[in-house]
Structure 1
Amino acid sequence: MLNRWYKSFYIKIFLSFLVTCILFFVGLALFWNAYFTDLFYKDKKELLSSRFAEVSKLLPNVQEGTISTRELRFGVRIIARSINGSVWLVDGQGVVLNGSSEREGSVIPKAMDPLFIEGLKGYSGFIAGQYRFDPRARDGLLTYYAPAQMNGQPIVIFLNVPAVEVSEALAAVRWNIVVPLLFSLLTVGIILYILSRKLAGPLQQMNRAALEVAGGDFTARVPITSEDEVGELAKSFNFMVDQLVQWEDARQEFLANVSHELRSPLTSLRGLIIAMNDKVIPEERYGHYLKICDYEVQRLQRLVNDLLDLARIQNGMDVFRTRPLLLQEKIGETLELLRTAMNDKRIALQERMPDEDDEPVIAELDPDRFAQILQNLLYNAIQFTPAGGTITVELRSEGERAVIVIRDTGIGMAEEELHRIWDRFYKVEHSRASLSEGTGLGLTIVKHLVNGMKGTIAVTSELGAGTEFTLTFPLSESWDY
């Protein structure tokens, strides 16, 4: 139970914000403590620094013999009285030298050993300590330590000054800092807990709704209770579920279409094979019906190939091998392959290409996939254009894009059909009882190929007047001649 509580999202949010606030308040408290400590000790630090300079001036005189040890002791004690504290001259063994204070000849307190070591290393500094040299003395002491030389030997000078009033003032200031911060932290903690609960509530609802959707219940929705980012997330979740419903419907329709498309040729094949096996069809007619079988097998092969092609493109498995492509040249090659089919149906072809003197139209495309797009669109134009009609292929550049227009004078499409031509297995001839050898996947593949090469495709059509497809692709700046 405790582990589950700890893993709760809103508890994680609450604890994260709370720890952040605690760290902030601790940092703030440390800053103000350091600030006021430095402020309150400032005068005493300046006093100790100046007195250290006076003591340092006396030491060379002892070595030169200008003053005696007694005079040194007298001078040091005068300086100690001026700061109402004590001055120690400590040798390399930690013993207070004669001539510094009433602790002459004794070892410094253990609490000051770290400062003594730092001084011997050549460092100096201040420290406010709570230690006492006299059991009857009150807490609070400011110490300044610094290295020096006496009679050619390294020593450490300690200047100790009582700082009881400063310690008491700092204690009062610290209480005035800590208490408000604690109350502020308590208030912020309560606010954060409420906010984290409010933030995590919709997420918990989304979690339950997601589990219901995963279980197959597509009626689950998340209530939208705000217009902020959480509300937007709830809207996005509901939109996602709506899309899943549409995709599920499309999947069911796709399976039904695939089953239908596969069942028809398989039924025909099975019927013909049984008829020939049972001798219902005369042997002299076998050749004719075997051709029908071959046609149905080709239909199945085209359907399977188109399905695999579409699956690769939609799943991102199809890799476009793009390079700068001269569109005039590639379009010309594709038209040459289809010219015979147009001539057989007595369809006129009009090519509108840029003049030789104009700038060549070059785009970054996959040559094979681009040819596949053109062939699909042109085969459709040939199929739905009656004898005597015209197919126009136009290439031009507009701004930074190449534009290819394929226009026919065929039977055209109604407005409601234009919205469905990109759907899988949709065939325009279903509504007009015309025959087609297509699988209903050609235009779906075309749209995915165009989008995959950063292009766009649009279609306009008028029933009885023809259809026009417009392709656009970004122009390429490079070209190897």
Structure 2
Amino acid sequence: MKFKSLYTKLLLSFLCILFITIILSLLLFIGTAGRSFRNTLDNQSFGKLKIFQAMIQEKIEQMPGIPLNENKEVKNLLHSFSDLFNLKIWVTSWDDTLLLKTFSTPGDIPVEKKKKYSVMKDGINLYYLSRRHISYYATLPLKTGNTISTLHIYLFAEHSDKPEALFHLGLLSIGIIIAVLIVPLTKIITNRIKQLNQSALEFADGNLDKRIDIKGQDEIAELGNSFNFMADKLEKMIQGKKELTANISHELRSPLTRIRVSNEMIQDKLLPDGDKDIKRYVKNIDHEIQTLDTLIEKILMMSKLDLQESALSIEPLDFNRMITDLEKKFIPSLEQKKLTLVKDTKGLLILNMDKSRVAAILLNLMDNAVKYTDETGVIEIKAIKPENDILIFSITNTYRPLKPLELKKIFEPFFRIETGISPGTGLGLSIVKKLITQCKSQITAKNSKTGLTFEIRFQDQGLPY
């Protein structure tokens, strides 16, 4: 399972490290303090058992001729210890014959299950019945005449106090507290990275004034300072490039004007029945001058939009009237190419927008549609207002389906679709995109059943108070 969120990755990493640290601490405690505790407990248990063994052996030696099962002193001592320490005690002969016991229930203890916790020392076998070494079973050798008997002791203690459980609970509580403290720490780290990422995206979208303020002296703060340094450098480079483009375009106007004047003077000197080839050349020169003039005009407009973004002049716009005026402007072009214009506008289409910008947007889109629609083609304009503050405008012209890459790059400066002819400058749709961004609206290009569609979602800007 892969986690995409850096916050999740950091949090899980911290928690894993914490879990491993707790486990290692627990193992270290068991291997050091736990082992020392067990050794101390073993020594104490063997010491008590040796004392008990010596006392029983002394009683046996005081009455050597009496069989062990008839020795009242031994019986009394065993019963006293059994009652005093809550023990089960019994004695067996060398052939495991039961000689005496201090209880009525069977005394057989399955030693096989206890071998894992067995300790042997000085002939005494001690078998712990739990990991906590509280309950145990022990066998002690006794000399009874010429034979060796075995003294069995069984201690079962119900100890309710569990100090190791309290230690585990404390360790778990510390882990939970650290885990809770890790959450805000992780958020602090990831929030700063998110802030840096958001600033980078805004800068990439064209907000060259965007800078980031990350406090501190760590690596993330240094990365923020590097981002600001990079942004300053890029802004100066881009600004200089825009100014250079604007200056060059402006300077080209003067020689272009002189060329136009010279061409007009040549046309005036030509006789009506003059050389046809010269007339054709002059006409071509005039056409190229017009094309170059249009290109320079659009470059200057692009530079103006880049260099200085003027405030929006908001007023109520009647899109029905604007679409009608747009149709009137293009009637000659529509008739020349025998194009059909279909309008589909529904209801009252009034929105508070910047009139000059919206007019430029519609003009460029209509000009693009007329240029790239073959003769006898169809151009369809639709406008609808689905919400009070939203107006959707679309224009569709007859055209082949565009490739995904063409749709993606269609708003880039100087991009033109590959055709047999290239009627445009490649700047019209770029200008449209910039104007729509300034109007805080969105535009999309897509293929439709009847051709290529540009759809704009105009957002009401609200009248200034």
Whether these two folds match at TM > 0.5 is no
**Which TM-score band (shorter chain)?**
0.3 to 0.5
TM-score (norm 1): 0.42
Query: Which one has the largest radius of gyration?
Result: 2
Which structure has more relative contact order (CA 8 Å, sep 6+)? It is: 1
TM-score (norm 2): 0.43
